[in-house]
Amino acid sequence: MDLIDVHSHIVPQRFPDNPSPATNSRWPCMHARNATEAAVMIGDKPFREIDSRSWEVSRRIDDMDRDRVSMQALSPMPELLSYWFAPSDGLEMARWMNHTIASMVSAAPKRFAGLGIVPLQDPALAAAELGRLQRDGFSGIEIGSNVNGVVLGDRRFDEFYAEAERLNLAIFVHALHPIGADRLQAFPDLVPFAAFPLDTALTAISLMRAGVPQRHPNLRIGFSHGGGAIVPLTHRLAQGWKVTNGFGGAMQEPPMYYAQRFFYDSLVYEPGYLRHLVGEFAPGQVFGGTDYPYAIMETQLRDFLTSAETVHRASLFNGAAKRFLALEPG
């Protein structure tokens, strides 16, 4: 059975020069360790050690063949989203990233789909860039779970959502610079492990509460890491919806209505919870995701999805991904 991995990341082999070195202290650059290994530097600090799986099509396809993965959706490593630069600099990085992704997709269009990035710190600029992404064959965009601390339910993003809906581009929300990180200075390793799912869920709830899926019923929004902590939050929000008359009318339908129209990746690491997510919480709305090629990746996606022992197996393997990415069926 076809298996699609919607959550995989790329890094280009090199970055453009810092356009504003006086102000952009977090502009990335690449330090090659050897022919196949490199460090992404943020300023003068190593941010992550990576290897050629991040940029080399042939190596990715070898791994996909080994793991029997039919297709990967390619999105940038989230630290490259570049919301913290001036919009014009963010746009320069976005175009560089999108060019890299488009090149990889064009090298093997049956094996890759593209999720580009846009400078969401300037929602109008981000919306305007979506047309180019659509013309270049992207399936959608990856966005952060917050934009410099602003949740995605903020009204400033409405025009961006409207344009993504109009252009039929999927939005894949990835955890980024999460809430709670400031409380974890004694345990920095908890930031990706524990705080990522919190940020994703908070932003998902803010989208529901703000009425984004209500105003944009055809917009496809998918969340990384199984929506993070979205399951318990949605049920609690539902109680709030009941006792506040739909938050004073802001939400016409109960939270589960919207939660079951969102998409989620399968990156939850535990078969019983995956079964709950895809079977009870959001039937048919969960697609495969691995976090390839990073250390925390789900290395056995096919086995993991099978282990959930759910009637939604076909949807998990490829059905939900095809709907999310708007791929031709079959």
Residue identified by tokens 């390619």 is 74
Distance CA 258, CA 38 (A): 42
Q: Does 198 bind a second copy (CB under 8 A)?
A: yes
Q: Which is nearer to a second copy, 140 or 227 (CB)?
A: 227
Q: Does 313 bind a second copy (CB under 8 A)?
A: no
Distance CA 289, CA 7 (A): 4
Report how far apart, in Å, the C-alpha atoms of 176 and of each of 105, 180, 195, 326 are.
Answer: 25, 12, 9, 25
Q: Which is nearer to a second copy, 103 or 148 (CB)?
A: 148
Distance CA 73, CA 53 (A): 14
Among 16, 19, 153, 283, binds a second copy (CB under 8 A): 153
Q: Does 303 bind a second copy (CB under 8 A)?
A: no
Distance CA 203, CA 187 (A): 23
Supply the minimum distance, in Å, between the C-beta of residue 82 and a second copy: 20
Residue identified by tokens 């300037």 is 122
Q: Where are the alpha helices (DSSP H) in the chain?
A: 57-67, 87-107, 123-135, 158-166, 190, 196-210, 212-215, 230-243, 245-249, 255-259, 271-276, 301-307, 313-314, 320-325
Q: Which is nearer to a second copy, 228 or 293 (CB)?
A: 228
Q: Does 257 bind a second copy (CB under 8 A)?
A: no
Supply the minimum distance, in Å, between the C-beta of residue 54 and a second copy: 18
Distance CA 220, CA 225 (A): 17
Supply the minimum distance, in Å, between the C-beta of residue 42 and a second copy: 21
Site string for a second copy, 100-139 (x = CB under 8 A): ----------------------------------------
Among 4, 151, 173, 282, binds a second copy (CB under 8 A): 151
Identify residues 208-237 at the interface with a second copy (CB under 8 A): 209-210, 225-226, 228-229, 231-233, 235-237
Q: Which is nearer to a second copy, 232 or 330 (CB)?
A: 232
Phi-psi category of residue 125: left, alpha or beta, with phi > 0 → left and psi -120 to 50 → alpha:
alpha
Distance CA 77, CA 291 (A): 10
Among 14, 26, 132, 276, binds a second copy (CB under 8 A): 276
Structural element, H or E, at residue 282: none
Both tokens of residue 200? 């994703």
Supply the minimum distance, in Å, between the C-beta of residue 287 and a second copy: 17
Among 244, 245, 252, 300, binds a second copy (CB under 8 A): 244
Q: Does 177 bind a second copy (CB under 8 A)?
A: no
Q: Does 310 bind a second copy (CB under 8 A)?
A: no
Among 48, 247, 283, 302, binds a second copy (CB under 8 A): 247
Phi-psi category of residue 112: left, alpha or beta, with phi > 0 → left and psi -120 to 50 → alpha:
beta
Q: Which is nearer to a second copy, 26 or 276 (CB)?
A: 276
For a second copy, the binding residues (CB under 8 A) are 146, 149-151, 153-155, 179-180, 182-184, 186-187, 189-190, 192-198, 201-202, 205-206, 209-210, 225-226, 228-229, 231-233, 235-240, 243-244, 247, 268-270, 272-273, 276, 280-281, 295-296
